[in-house]
Structure 1
Amino acid sequence: MTSMPITGGALAMPKLGLGTWRMSGRDCTAAVTRALALGYRHIDTAEMYGNEEAVGAALAESGIPRDEIFLTTKVWYENLTPDGVRRAIEASLAKLRTDHVNLFLIHWPSPSMNLAAVLATMAHLKHEGLVRHIGVSNFTVALMRQAVEAIGAEIACNQVEYHVLLGQDAVLDYARAHGITVTAYCPLAQGRLGDHPALAEVAAKHGATPAQVALKYLLDQDGVAAIPKAAREETQRANLAALAITLDDEDRTALAALPKNQRFVDPAFAPDWD
């Protein structure tokens, strides 16, 4: 197993995790089981994914002590009331077959939410031991500022779409200034990395794939984790192998020069990204 780097600060979690969006049933259980056997110790799921039972089955079947696995789940934006959040975590824990998750996130902000009330409930869940850390996902800097400065919540993480084709400088700057980890979802731009010669050139230099180079670009960054979805064993292995790549300043300059304005996850209920 490749040594797994850990994020710094208050949130000590493996920098490379397994995303499970659009996985389901026995296929999901098999994928998570494979990943755990290969050495993954960071698994990401969500209420909305409909696969928490499948993830829970893999955790139970793995034989790996629970305290060795970093487990994240999320509450859907339609359930952002104090009662809704509590019902969501209780249901998630039952499906995941565990008494706690390591990180519990607001999956998407909702214009109708009472953010202070929701975060207060999440803080109570942390106090009760049902969750170890609380955080958010798809929050803009303005929403992060509201949570941290206006409400005073102890946010450990903001999970956002982040890859070599989408910049997140403002979110990263704010997060680092406040000790918040940024987790990159869709870190491989949903498979759209093969059309950029600069990326291919860096990959060829290292005997790697463009996806591996793009992943290492994120994992090298301070306070950034990444959770690529990977169902097949060869893909899971390839993502682990990205950890062994050593990018130099020339590589990072080439990757930084790629277009940074391509967002691929932008549902109708998304916040105003500006």
Structure 2
Amino acid sequence: MASLVSSYRPTANGTDAPYQPNVSNSNTPKQSGNFPTLKLNDGNEIPVFAFGVGSALTNGEHILNATSAAIRNGFYHLDGAEVDGNEKALGDAIKRSGLPRSQFFVTTKLWTVATTVKASLDASLERLGLDYVDLYLVHWPQVAKTPDQLQQIWAEMEAVKQSGKARSIGVSNFVQEHLETILRTAKVKPAINHVEFHPYLQHGNLLDFHRQQGIATGAYGTLAPLRKGAPGPVDSIFTSLARKYQVTESEIAIRWAMDQGIAVATTSTSEERIQGYSRRIPSFKLSPDEIQEISQLGRQKHFRGYFTDIYRDEDRR
């Protein structure tokens, strides 16, 4: 691991003790860029910073160019999704890079089950042009209409992990009750739950439940307080900390999540911004007091940027 990140160790409490799942600085990380990895509950490792293709990039050529720029700047954890229609362009960017498949950590997500989970994953792999993904997620719990169906889908997820076509399996946008449903029958626990996470949506006790169950937390929408959720009570502290560390406010928002042991996915069409993330985010760390102050200020406001048609305005889960 590069010396730039030798002291960069995300933790749950801001101390130097590693958060569980542990941060790994092994000599053979999945990602050899500027970012370390978290060890998942199945023994696999996930780079803590991902380039998320997401729903913000909708044009195939834009996806290809932005993802290629991310790869050039050391982002080898690439996060796509079936529903966003970005898998083909993501796979094309990997091919364009000329780098070996083993260099990348590729995530994609299951949105619907027309027949079986296996068939859905096979279709995603064909679009990606890959033999396997490193992480396959159930994109949302509403893929199932009943708890029994959700448990069946998870059993099929376990089968694709067993097949080797998905190295790790997890979920996205699950609240505790959804996790409890699948845990009642699961043979393999989800490795991660990927949720919208930022100071204005901290999900109550969900992260504590993740830790109790050995489930990692992944975050998207981390920049919401600076974008769709602005203005708000964290504005001033983001500005002052950006000045203190000589970084951008976006980089403060990302470190706030990372320094709680959370793997973050973000996106950008600006190569200059991507370069800044790669260079500056590994170069500093927020103090425990700074993390706590941002968290406390964030709880003064509630904002959800996604799935607002499913969750009530006051629902902070």
TM-score under structure 2 length normalisation: 0.79
Give the CA RMSD over aligned residues: 2.1
283, 293, 306: which is aligned to 1:265?
306
Aligned-pair identity in percent equals: 29
Measured in 2, the distance between the counterparts of 1:233 and 1:190 equals 22
CA distance in 1, matches of 2:99, 2:308: 36
Matched positions, count: 270
SS of equivalent residue, structure 2 residue 169: strand
Matched, 1:237 2:275: yes
Task: Choose between structure 1 and 2: higher helix proportion.
Answer: 1
- 1:226-262 CA-to-partner distances (Å, cap 9, x unmatched) read 0011221112122222221221233223212222322
Q: Confirm or deny: 8 A CA contact 1:194 1:210 kept in the other structure.
A: no
1:17/1:226 contact within 8 Å kept: yes
SS of the residue corresponding to residue 47 of structure 2 reads coil
- The SS at the match of 1:236 is helix
| Stretches of 4+ aligned residues off by more than 6 angstroms | none
Instruction: Provide the rounded CA distance (Å) in 1 between the counterparts of 2:36 and 2:169.
Output: 21
The yes-or-no answer on 1:146 pairing with 2:187 is no
Deviation at 1:270, TM superposition (A): 5.4
Q: TM-score, normalised by structure 1?
A: 0.91
Counterpart CA distance in 1 for 2:295 and 2:165 is 40
- 2:67 and 2:181 map into 1 onto residues whose CA distance is 35
Aligned equivalent of 2:150: 115
Which residue does the alignment assign to 1:12? 45
Gaps spanning 5+ residues in structure 1: where?
Answer: none
Q: 1:165 aligns with which of 200, 210, 227?
A: 200
**Equivalent residue number for residue 220 of structure 2:** 185
Deviation at 1:122, TM superposition (A): 1.1
**CA–CA distance in structure 2, aligned partners of residues 219 and 259 of structure 1:** 16
Give the partner amino acid of 2:282. L
Instruction: Determine which of 205, 221, 224 is the counterpart of 2:260.
Output: 221
1:85 to 117, 135, 138: 117
> Where do 5+ consecutive residues of structure 2 fail to align?
5-33
Tell which deviates more after alignment, 234-243 or 32-41: 234-243
Change (3 A) 1:269 1:249: closer
**Cα drift, residue 194 of structure 1:** 6.4
Corresponding residue to 1:94 among 99, 104, 126: 126
